[in-house]
């Protein structure tokens, strides 16, 4: 039997219904909720040919494993991670636009990064298999459906993968508070990947050394750095701005 995963929250379940309705096995909703949003959700699930099971909030809490669920949880076939970055890149039209996350372990940060990556039109998100979070229930919920639409590629050796990207003429731009050049000075119109470091620690040394260019995010106030998901949004949308979207 195929592995399963729990999808918690309206956005995560609806996104899976749109992307792969046949992968949804069971849908559970809070029996006490009868508001318009819930009624519309139940109607959408029913139209997709899936049965809705009204249950108590305690049952939903158990199914969601502690994640906030908004009264909605679905049991679905586990989404297969994209495992062939070359296949993703070979299918692109135009300049590649990637996001590399070095050791992001907080599921809320990964979910937010995926959501922004989807909004900015990123072609794929790359992360190491070690020292990184996978697509768990919290990531799915925070991503608001982006975990279903953006290829998330987990690789065994991040530095080697980065070198392979360089062989494809994809420019690797990392963020560093001490870099003399700012994000607005880099060329976002060429094929490129933004490389973001982990919460607190930043990029590992080998990751930093493999980048083609290091830039800083201008900080005009009193705080020294931004949360990784916020920093990611700032950098990705600098590329969007330059590409004239």
Which residues have a Cβ under 8 Å from the Cβ of 224 and sit 6 or more positions away? 177
Arithmetic mean of pLDDT, 151-173: 93
| Residue 65 confidence (pLDDT) | 79
| 111 contacts: CB under 8 Å, gap ≥ 6 | 138, 139, 140, 141, 142, 143, 144, 146, 147
pLDDT tens track for 13-72: 887 888 778 888 889 999 988 899 999 999 999 988 888 999 998 898 888 877 788 898
List pLDDT tens digits, range 71-84. 988 888 876 555 57
Q: Flag whether 56 is marked binding.
A: no
CA trace torsion 13, 17, 22, 24 (10° rounding): 10
- pLDDT value of residue 80: 55
Across the chain, mean pLDDT equals 87
Q: How many CA atoms lie within 13 A of 162 on its CB side?
A: 25
DSSP state of 123: S
To the nearest 10 degrees (0 to 180), the angle between helices 228-242 and 107-120 is 10
Which pLDDT belongs to residue 240?
A: 96
Q: Do the annotations mark residue 42 as ligand-binding? A: no
Q: What is the pLDDT of residues 92-103, one digit of tens each?
A: 888 999 999 998
Q: Give me the architecture of the 85-242 domain, per CATH.
A: 3-Layer(aba) Sandwich (3.40)
- Provide the residue ranges of all domains of the chain, joining segments of one domain with +: 4-77, 85-242
**CATH fold of 4-77, please?**
60s Ribosomal Protein L30; Chain: A; (3.30.1330)
φ and ψ at residue 53, rounded to 5 degrees: -110, 110
217 labeled part of a ligand binding site: yes
């Amino acid at each position: 039997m195929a592995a399963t995963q729990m999808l918690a929250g309206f956005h995560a379940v609806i996104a899976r219904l749109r992307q792969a309705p046949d992968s949804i096995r069971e849908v559970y909703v809070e029996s006490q909720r009868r508001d318009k949003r819930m009624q519309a959700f139940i109607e959408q699930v029913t139209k997709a040919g899936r049965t809705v099971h009204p249950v108590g909030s305690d049952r939903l809490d158990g199914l969601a494993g502690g994640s906030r669920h908004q009264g909605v949880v679905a049991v679905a076939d586990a989404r297969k991670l994209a495992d062939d970055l070359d296949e993703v890149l070979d299918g692109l039209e135009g300049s590649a636009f990637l996001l590399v996350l070095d050791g992001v372990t907080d599921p809320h940060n990964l979910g937010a990064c995926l959501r922004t990556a989807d909004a900015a039109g990123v072609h794929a998100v790359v992360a190491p298999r070690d020292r990184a979070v996978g697509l768990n229930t919290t990531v799915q919920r925070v991503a608001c459906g982006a975990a279903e639409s953006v290829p998330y590629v987990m690789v065994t050796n991040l530095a080697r993968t980065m070198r392979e990207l360089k062989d494809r003429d994809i420019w690797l731009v990392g963020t560093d508070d001490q870099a003399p050049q700012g994000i607005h000075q880099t060329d976002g119109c060429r094929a490129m990947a933004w490389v973001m470091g982990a919460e607190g620690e930043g990029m590992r040394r080998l990751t930093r050394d493999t980048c083609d260019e290091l830039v800083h995010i201008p900080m005009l106030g009193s705080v020294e750095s931004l949360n990784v998901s916020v920093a990611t949004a700032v950098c990705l949308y600098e590329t969007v701005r330059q590409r004239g979207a």
